[in-house]
Structure 1
Amino acid sequence: MAQARMLLVEDDAALAELVEFHFRREDFEVVRTADGEEALLLAKEQTPDIVLLDWMIEGLSGIEVCRRLRRMGETQNVPIIMLTARGEEEDRIRGLETGADDYVTKPFSPRELVARVGAVLRRVRPALAGETMSYADVEMDTVGHKVRRNGEVIPLGPTEFRLLKHFLEHPGHVFSRERLLDSVWGHDSDIESRTVDVHIRRLRKAINIGDRPDIIRTVRSAGYALDSGE
């Protein structure tokens, strides 16, 4: 399963730790906050793949956070699951009308929550739930560690494989060199940002076989994106 980035907004510390533990065990990257305003900043800085949002957080309410996430360009299509002690039908409808994709009532089983998140991701981001990812005529088998373009096997080094995998998980998103270093090489990497350019060139050379169009777009002063231009 491709690693998914989760934004968890929950002010019950014990519950937040329990949820984080279960999702990290399922290979999710979990970013956690108890504050609605901070949640909006975190979502803007690094777009999550899914948001778990408590209705009753202090300060900015969960329902208002949901409303604002839907208005932000970066997060308007990110799935949101609301966590709430409110079980009334009227409250559920209000949450869904505000933009939530699903609704889990407390108390809940962590295993059920993991299953519900997986179901939502399969609907909206199948690449995060399966073993094969594809974009345009590029296909990646993450288990067999193989890449094909138009059916032809493309040999890639491990770093280029990870780089392409990251792009396939976020098609159309523009990533700066620093973001790519953080996501592909890791937080503790001491590699210089210009090294990213070298690996991008290698990746391009490998996947742009023959006269195939270049699907790695360079965005001046911003970074790179997987973009077929169609």
Structure 2
Amino acid sequence: MQKIYCVEDDESVRELVIYALQSSGFEAQGFVNAEEFFPVLKNNVPDLILLDIMLPGIDGIEILKEVRKNPKTQHTPIIMLTARGSEYDKITGLDNGADDYVTKPFGVMELIARIKAVLRRSAKINVAQDKATNDLSAGNGLLVLNHDFHKVYVNNEEVILTLKEFELLYYLLKNKNIVISRDKIMDEVWDYNYAAETRTVDVHIKTLRHKLGVASKLIETIRGVGYKIID
């Protein structure tokens, strides 16, 4: 049974999420704040973490940073719970290692669907790592993605990406020089079609470009359609 932790200080929201998770076949545990969360995380790493941004004391972004610093949890999938319309929170969360976000107030079925999609992508990456034998590259070797070790390099310098950023970059590189629509990216990378959230693709592209630095020029925007990586 897959285990999910939910860090949320609103008791009604936390209890609803825990009930929904358990009803969907997950093992779930809730936490009010970082003080409760970190001691448990130290000894028991879950399959996924739901993390509210607005928390008392240490906020969700700081918790996210600490989780990503820890080698034991650096690749654990994390979905941020953000306030409606807070673009800054979404971008900040993604830029610091979140794999996805859900905007409050959210529907329980949507949340469960997002969780299952992220878990599926995480499992597929692990399988791909086991089977992969070749690197993918662009820009005459400027950008290199190594499957075997789940690593990305720009000018031979390692770049740390989140699970979703890695999967997005892999998909673009696999289809190098081909224009891919936002809807197609959502279907393939997020494994879940929620067209109203195609803005998610744009946000991830923005954070990916930021992290890739000089290699960001290889990601080309096709206005009104989507993106492609050029060689």
Q: TM-score, normalised by structure 2?
A: 0.53
Deviation at 1:86, TM superposition (A): 4.8
Deviation at residue 112 of structure 1 after TM alignment: 0.1
Tell whether 2:52 aligns with 1:61: no
- Partner SS, residue 125 of structure 1: helix
SS of residue in 1 equivalent to 2:65: helix
CA contact (8 A) 1:44 1:75 kept: no
Work out whether 1:92 is the aligned partner of 2:90: yes
Q: Residues 61-85 of structure 1, C-alpha deviation per residue, up to 9 Å, x if partnerless?
A: 0000000000012110000000121
Distance 1:74 1:116 in 2: 23
Distance 1:89 1:59 in 2: 22
State the partner residue of 1:72: 70
The structure richer in helix per residue is 2
- Aligned position for 2:35: 37
Cα deviation code 1:16-67 (max 9, x no counterpart)? 1111111101111111110113212211110110000000111110000000
Give runs of aligned pairs for residues 64-143 of structure 1, distance below 5 A: 64-126=62-124
Q: Per-residue deviation at 1:88?
A: 2.6
On the 8 A contact 2:82/2:89 being kept in 1, the answer is no
Distance, in Å, in 1 between the alignment partners of 2:86 and 2:33 is 25
Deviation string for 1:151-190 (max 9, x for gaps)?
xxxxxxxxxxxxxxxxxxxxxxxxxxxxxxxxxxxxxxxx
Displacement, 1:91?
2.1
Question: For 2:109, what is the secondary structure of its paired residue?
Answer: helix
Structure 1 partner of 2:169? none
Aligned to 2:14: 16
Percentage of matched positions with identical amino acids: 46
Equivalent positions of 1:214-225 (< 5 A) are none
CA deviation map 1:73-109 (0-9, x unaligned):
2110000000121523222111101111001110000
Equivalent residues of 2:34, 2:58 under 8 A apart: yes
Give the whole-Å Cα distance in 2 for the aligned partners of 1:96 and 1:40.
21
Root mean square deviation, CA, Å: 2.4
| Aligned-residue offset at 1:126 | 4.7
Contact 2:53/2:80 (CA < 8 Å) preserved in 1?
A: yes
Gaps of 5+ in 1: 128-132, 137-230
**Counterpart selection for 2:4 from 6, 10, 17:** 6
Separation (CA, whole Å) in 1 of partners of 2:39 and 2:79: 18
Instruction: Answer with 1 or 2: which has the greater Rg.
Output: 1
How many matched pairs? 131
